[in-house]
């Protein structure tokens, strides 16, 4: 995954989550979303989904999740 094309990581992640939302361990989800956010820092959809996903797994990451969601919303406003 580390050297995979971002589009391939995104597609694989979407397929996996659609099949069975809890199939991927939390560490793998976090790693995939982190790589995507680093490679696509201006992709509102990726940032928003990463933030929502983090909110699903405990309060430890809530601050990061809120930052990702806020950034996603800012980017969406610029798209309109």
Helix axis angle, 26-39 to 44-55, nearest 10°: 150
Residue boundaries of the structural domains of the chain: 22-79
Please tell me the distance from the alpha carbon of residue 40 to that of residue 43, in angstroms, as a whole number. Answer: 5
DSSP labels, 29-49: HHHHHHHHHHH-TT-HHHHHH
pLDDT of residue 61: 92
pLDDT of residue 8: 94
**pLDDT tens digits for range 36-79:** 999 999 999 999 999 999 999 989 999 999 999 999 999 999 98
pLDDT of residue 32: 94
**pLDDT tens digits for range 16-31:** 999 999 999 999 999 9
């Amino acid at each position: 995954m580390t050297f995979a094309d971002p589009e391939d990581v995104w597609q694989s992640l979407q397929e996996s989550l659609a099949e069975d939302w809890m199939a991927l361990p939390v560490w793998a989800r976090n790693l995939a979303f982190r790589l995507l956010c680093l490679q696509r820092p201006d992709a509102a959809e990726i940032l928003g989904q990463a933030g929502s996903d983090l909110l699903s797994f405990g309060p430890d990451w809530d601050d990061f999740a809120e930052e990702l969601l806020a950034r996603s919303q800012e980017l969406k406003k610029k798209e309109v």
